[in-house]
Structure 1
Amino acid sequence: MTKKPAVDISLAQQSDLAELSEVLNHYIINTTAVALSQPLDAVGQQHRFASHAPAGPYRILAARDRDTGRLLGFADSTPLVPDEAFKQAAVVGLYCTPDATGQGVGGALLRELLRHLAAEKVRRAYAYTLDTNQLATALLRRSDFNQAAVYDEVALKFGKYWSMTIWEKKLAGAVDDGLVAELVTRKISSPVRRS
């Protein structure tokens, strides 16, 4: 039995870009785990990295083996819709090196990313899976994501159409802060309805 690696998770750095891209491109080129069909070139890789920040809800986290420093995977969050009205919703992506799947790395990355999102007052996290990605589906279910929608045969890859499931998770603390303050101040045990 393979020993699960001790994992360190931190914000991805510019110096991680080549390794992150190698992991993502592996899935783009070889699998239906990622719906994209074209691998990212150097410009695409740089653009993807630049769209994330070290602070705020949209970031990239890297998981490394604590003993060897080897990249085991990464997770990222992106806007659901690139508009201010949707700033409290994020799409999460999760990518492990092929030899790190099933080792708890993805779960650790997802927990840490969701913790960051909740701290940024993001109310909902979304994830997309194609119908062939059973590992991601199982992880999302264990992480209390609910199936929100299925787009039937929406992605064409490897000459076949694949269905995509959209998963949704309400993040802890995703409540109306004004309502909470009102309830605490008035010591009301029943919810206040607003019209």
Structure 2
Amino acid sequence: MLQRTDVQVSAGTEGDLAALTDIYNHYVRETPVTFDIDPITPDDRRPWLLSHPEDGPHRLLVARSTEGGQVVGYATSSPYRPKAAYATSVETSIYLAPGAGGRGIGSLLYAALFEALAGEDVHRAYAGVALPNEASIRIHERFGFRQVGVFHEVGRKFDAYHDVAWLEKRLH
């Protein structure tokens, strides 16, 4: 069984695109944690990948198994909103491959992400968590996020309305 000691974290690359898309599409098809309704293709996902360079405030970090290099999860920091005054804020997220949760891999990814962001001009990190999602709330709280509000019934997926909790973390 894969544990956090069996993975390495590094910047995501073009070669990871298919695996990253597969992980994301699992959540699109099977869960309400993302509000995308239809699975996407790697070509659809390429602009997202390219918007996360190896340095700067918008990062994509990938967890790969040390044996075989299989992608088992990823964490991102992305622009919070497009207007210039939001430039020092990021929105963060974690996605793990099915079966990879509960093994410390998400914590390993977030630790690496926040370490990378420590040298950047980023003041706050935000996370939107579709509810219910106790695991996501727990990891965000473990990393110092605090809930600041809930958007009630903001998204409809699988014929049900879902709330989204918003959490924030001060970085600098």
Please tell me the TM-score bracket, short chain as reference.
Answer: over 0.9
1:66 equivalent in structure 2: 66
Distance 1:5 1:81 in 2: 32
Query: Which residue identity is paired with 1:52?
Result: H
**1:46-74, Cα deviation, whole Å (9 max, x unpaired):** 12112221221112110011233221100
Matches within 5 A, 1:36-51: 36-51=36-51
Query: Which residue identity is paired with 2:115?
Result: R
1:190 equivalent in structure 2: none
Maintained 8 Å contact 2:93/2:127: yes
In structure 1, the gaps of 5 or more residues are 175-195
TM-score, normalisation: structure 2: 0.94
Query: Which residue identity is paired with 1:4?
Result: Q
Say if 2:161 is the partner of 1:158: no
**1:136-191, Cα deviation, whole Å (9 max, x unpaired):** 111111111000110001010000000000110011xx1xxxxxxxxxxxxxxxxx
Specify whether residues 69 and 156 from structure 1 end up closer, same or farther in structure 2 by C-alpha distance, changes over 3 A only.
same
Specify whether residues 3 and 145 from structure 1 end up closer, same or farther in structure 2 by C-alpha distance, changes over 3 A only.
same
Greater relative contact order (CA < 8 Å, ≥ 6 in sequence)? 2
**What number of residue pairs does the alignment pair up?**
171
Q: CA deviation at 1:121?
A: 2.2
Maintained 8 Å contact 1:80/1:86: yes
Q: CA deviation at 1:118?
A: 2.2
CA RMSD after TM alignment: 1.3
2:168 equivalent in structure 1: 168
Distance 2:54 2:126 in 1: 20
Maintained 8 Å contact 2:126/2:167: yes
SS at match of 1:21: helix
Matches within 5 A, 1:4-23: 4-6=3-5, 7-23=7-23
Say if 2:38 is the partner of 1:26: no
Say if 2:107 is the partner of 1:107: yes
Maintained 8 Å contact 1:32/1:133: no
Q: CA deviation at 1:36?
A: 2.0
Query: Which residue identity is paired with 1:12?
Result: G
Matches within 5 A, 1:115-134: 115-134=115-134
1:141 equivalent in structure 2: 141
Q: CA deviation at 1:133?
A: 1.4
SS at match of 2:64: strand
Tell me which structure has the larger Cα radius of gyration.
Answer: 1
Query: Which residue identity is paired with 2:85?
Result: A
Q: Where do 4+ consecutive residues of structure 1 move more than 4 Å?
A: none
TM-score, normalisation: structure 1: 0.83
Query: Which residue identity is paired with 2:81?
Result: V
